[in-house]
């Protein structure tokens, strides 16, 4: 085979597409112009984003659904900086991604030009594999290594810095990345030990599932073990991707509020953790525990992050003799359509009532989404993508990538499954990366954006009290309040060409949601909802949460007792 040489940019793109990475989320500048020019004679789809945080979040959403790395193209250290928060979310989610960061020409760096900065240092927080490509000849090999690192367990973000002269130089050689799957499973002795715990202490054992085992094969396996042994199934607080709905096993998510999570985990003597971390509080609070595993509970990790989690879980199924056990799957059961004045719970109810089969939910509804898991548990099968790293401004960008990956399949049109995306986003969250709406329009994506607009940073009203910051006056409260200058998301959407409407009743929301799902292209619904927890004392929280169905009432009772003065 003759080796075709190209400029660096062409060799780079060819190496990416050789590995099946055919989508790149971009915000290019001068140093990336050769990459841009090389797009035309390539199989790469370049999705322009007007802000880098949109590009990185979209790449994250893409990779979660496509189950292969996405690529980004960003401009120098500042472009990477703008994308950092959503790269943090992707890192915490262990999402595979390849960042291509254009840099000044190597010989230009000595001059400390205005945009000069230390890109490797910026990348260090989100990437453990970082390389500045030193020569055009090296581009193909370097990007192949970047792809391999991103792909293999533990999946991660690799960052290749591409100096402009390396990109425009001639002599690039495209390479082939090794994409062989991970097959290393947990040691037989460990599986035996954990199966013994399950078989002897099953009802006092909880299994906490994370990341890769939250897809169908993992859930089915976990359910078989649960049915055989009586062990309780939990899911990590913010799953990367959770397959759920009718026909799949139901797992209870650990609550965001540590007070509630502690109650969920109380009484278990063994905690088996599969492909996630030991549960800890999201933040620290004065006088409260950060580590949420009960003091007398033994922790067992089934796999290390470099092992095959699903394969190990399936080995555990065999070890407990559950191979022939029927998993317990959720029956199909949708809620009725809501009616009356709209609130956040009714939004969740309508989503449960109307979401189509194979929908993807990008969930950044914060306080407004508490009832979503309950109302969608028996809805048609769907995926939920959540705020894995806690850095808000992820929900809209993730929806972009998910919509592209979900409708980008190969095969004939008849074989293709249409995947509608519903992004549930709080008003405060939406504003971090509102430029996402433009890319949804520019790419004509089937995304329904629901803004749960309570005109506040509602979650911070709770947090202000949780941290014990007493006596907040008007200056403090104004830091959490968006109501003095209310945001009209319909106008914002129209500013970027997107059809949009404001709704204040459940009936209007039902109609708007059904229409948005039915009609092609993106839509936005500005759902005006009350701030449910405004002025709420923390001690009343369990009652409220119980009343809206988030937690079963025994948990509410326990919480009430725990939180009593």
Residues 52-91 that bind a second copy (CB under 8 A): 53, 77-79, 81-82, 84-85, 88
DSSP assignments along 477-504, one per residue: HHTSB-SSS---HHHHHHHTT--EEEE-
* Cβ distance to a second copy smaller for residue 497 or 549: 497
Query: Pick from 206, 316, 450, 480: which binds a second copy (CB under 8 A)?
Result: 480
* Cβ distance to a second copy smaller for residue 220 or 392: 392
36 Rama sector, left if φ>0, alpha if ψ -120 to 50, beta otherwise:
alpha
List the structure tokens of 24. 């790149």
Nearest by Cα to 400 from 374, 433, 367, 377: 433
**In the complex, what is the shortest distance from the CB of residue 280 to a second copy, in angstroms, rounded to a whole number?**
4
**In the complex, what is the shortest distance from the CB of residue 166 to a second copy, in angstroms, rounded to a whole number?**
11
Q: Could you tell me which stretch among 60-68, 261-269, 308-316, 483-491 binds a second copy (CB under 8 A)?
A: 483-491
Site of tokens 């709704």? 503
CB 555 within 8 A of CB 260: yes
SS3 72: strand
**Is residue 485 a contact point for a second copy (CB under 8 A)?**
yes
* Cβ distance to a second copy smaller for residue 287 or 565: 287
List the structure tokens of 109. 């760096």
Region 386-405 residues binding a second copy, contact defined as CB under 8 A = 388-391, 393
* Cβ distance to a second copy smaller for residue 57 or 202: 57
Query: Pick from 484, 535, 564, 565: which binds a second copy (CB under 8 A)?
Result: 484
Cβ atoms within 10 Å, residue 291: 12
Which runs of consecutive H residues, i.e. helices, occur in 232-330?
258-265, 309-319
* Cβ distance to a second copy smaller for residue 12 or 379: 12
**In the complex, what is the shortest distance from the CB of residue 214 to a second copy, in angstroms, rounded to a whole number?**
16
* Cβ distance to a second copy smaller for residue 24 or 220: 24
**In the complex, what is the shortest distance from the CB of residue 282 to a second copy, in angstroms, rounded to a whole number?**
6
Query: Pick from 3, 413, 475, 565: which binds a second copy (CB under 8 A)?
Result: 475
Q: Could you tell me which stretch among 23-31, 243-251, 302-310, 376-384 binds a second copy (CB under 8 A)?
A: 23-31
What one-character DSSP code corresponds to residue 551?
S
Region 306-325 residues binding a second copy, contact defined as CB under 8 A = none
CB 19 within 8 A of CB 176: yes
109 Cβ contact partners less than 8 Å away, ≥ 6 residues apart: 103, 116, 163
List the structure tokens of 65. 């659904």
Query: Pick from 230, 486, 520, 552: which binds a second copy (CB under 8 A)?
Result: 486
The Cα 90–Cα 101 span in angstroms is 17
Region 202-261 residues binding a second copy, contact defined as CB under 8 A = 237-238
The Cα 209–Cα 197 span in angstroms is 17
Region 422-451 residues binding a second copy, contact defined as CB under 8 A = 428, 431-432, 434-435, 438, 441-442
Query: Pick from 1, 3, 111, 336: which binds a second copy (CB under 8 A)?
Result: 111
**In the complex, what is the shortest distance from the CB of residue 106 to a second copy, in angstroms, rounded to a whole number?**
9
The Cα 330–Cα 379 span in angstroms is 9
How many residues of this chain interact with a second copy, rule: CB under 8 A? 102
* Cβ distance to a second copy smaller for residue 204 or 494: 494
Give all strands (DSSP E) within 119-166, no chain letters: 129-132, 157-163
CB 166 within 8 A of CB 136: yes
> 316 has which bridge partners?
none
Query: Pick from 304, 497, 530, 549: which binds a second copy (CB under 8 A)?
Result: 497
Q: Could you tell me which stretch among 186-194, 299-307, 351-359, 456-464 binds a second copy (CB under 8 A)?
A: 456-464
* Cβ distance to a second copy smaller for residue 98 or 487: 487
Query: Pick from 196, 332, 469, 547: which binds a second copy (CB under 8 A)?
Result: 469
The Cα 55–Cα 86 span in angstroms is 9
**Is residue 25 a contact point for a second copy (CB under 8 A)?**
no
CA distances from 372 to 203, 328, 484, 504, 516 (A): 28, 21, 29, 19, 19
Query: Pick from 179, 305, 325, 460: which binds a second copy (CB under 8 A)?
Result: 460
CB 525 within 8 A of CB 451: yes
């Amino acid at each position: 085979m003759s080796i075709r040489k190209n400029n660096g940019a062409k060799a780079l793109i060819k190496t990416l597409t050789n590995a099946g990475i055919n989508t790149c989320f971009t915000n290019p500048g001068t140093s990336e112009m050769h990459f841009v020019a090389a797009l035309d004679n390539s199989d790469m789809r370049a999705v322009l984003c007007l802000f880098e945080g949109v590009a990185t979040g979209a790449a994250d959403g893409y990779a979660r659904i496509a189950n292969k790395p996405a690529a980004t193209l960003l401009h120098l250290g500042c472009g990477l900086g703008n994308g950092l928060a959503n790269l943090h979310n992707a890192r915490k989610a262990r999402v595979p991604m390849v960042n291509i960061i254009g840099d000044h020409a190597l010989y230009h760096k000595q001059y400390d030009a205005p945009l000069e900065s230390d890109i490797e240092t910026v990348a260090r927080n989100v990437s453990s594999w970082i390389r500045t490509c030193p020569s055009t000849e090296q581009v193909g090999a370097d990007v192949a290594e970047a792809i391999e690192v991103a792909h293999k367990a533990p999946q991660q973000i690799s960052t290749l810095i591409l100096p402009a002269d390396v990109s425009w130089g001639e002599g690039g050689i495209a390479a082939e990345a090794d994409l062989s799957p991970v097959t290393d499973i947990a040691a037989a002795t460990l599986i035996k030990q954990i199966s013994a715990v399950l078989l002897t202490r099953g009802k006092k054992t909880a299994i906490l599932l994370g990341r890769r085992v939250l897809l169908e094969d993992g859930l089915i396996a976990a359910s078989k073990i649960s049915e055989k042994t009586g062990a309780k199934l939990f899911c990590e607080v913010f799953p990367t991707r959770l397959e759920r709905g009718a026909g799949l096993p139901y797992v209870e998510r650990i609550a965001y509020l540590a007070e509630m999570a502690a109650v969920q985990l109380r009484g278990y003597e063994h905690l088996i953790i599969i492909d996630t971390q030991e549960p800890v509080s999201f933040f620290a609070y004065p006088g409260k525990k950060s580590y949420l595993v009960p003091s007398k509970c033994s922790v067992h990790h089934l796999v290390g992050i470099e092992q095959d989690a699903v394969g190990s879980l399936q080995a555990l199924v065999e070890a407990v003799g559950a191979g022939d056990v029927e998993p317990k799957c959720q029956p199909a059961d949708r809620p009725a359509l809501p009616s009356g004045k709209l609130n956040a719970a009714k939004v969740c109810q309508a989503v449960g009532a109307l979401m189509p089969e194979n929908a993807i939910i990008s969930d950044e509804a914060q306080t407004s989404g508490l009832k979503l898991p309950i109302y969608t548990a028996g809805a048609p099968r769907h995926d939920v993508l959540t705020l894995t790293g806690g850095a808000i401004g992820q929900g809209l960008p993730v929806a972009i990538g998910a919509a592209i990956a979900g409708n980008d399949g190969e095969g004939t049109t008849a074989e293709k499954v249409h995947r509608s995306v519903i992004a549930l986003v709080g008003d405060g969250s939406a504003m971090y990366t509102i430029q996402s709406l433009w890319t949804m329009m520019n790419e004509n994506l089937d995304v329904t954006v629901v803004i749960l607009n309570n005109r506040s940073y509602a979650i911070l009203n709770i947090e202000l009290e949780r941290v014990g910051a007493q006596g907040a006056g008007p200056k403090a409260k104004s830091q959490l309040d968006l109501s003095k200058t209310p945001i009209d998301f319909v106008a914002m959407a129209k500013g970027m060409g997107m059809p949009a409407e404001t709704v204040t009743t459940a009936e209007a929301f039902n109609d708007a949601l059904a229409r948005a799902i039915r009609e092609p292209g993106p839509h936005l619904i500005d759902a005006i909802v009350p701030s449910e927890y405004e002025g709420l004392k923390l001690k009343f929280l369990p009652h409220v949460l119980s009343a809206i169905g988030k937690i079963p009432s025994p948990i509410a009772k326990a919480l009430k007792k725990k939180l009593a003065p």
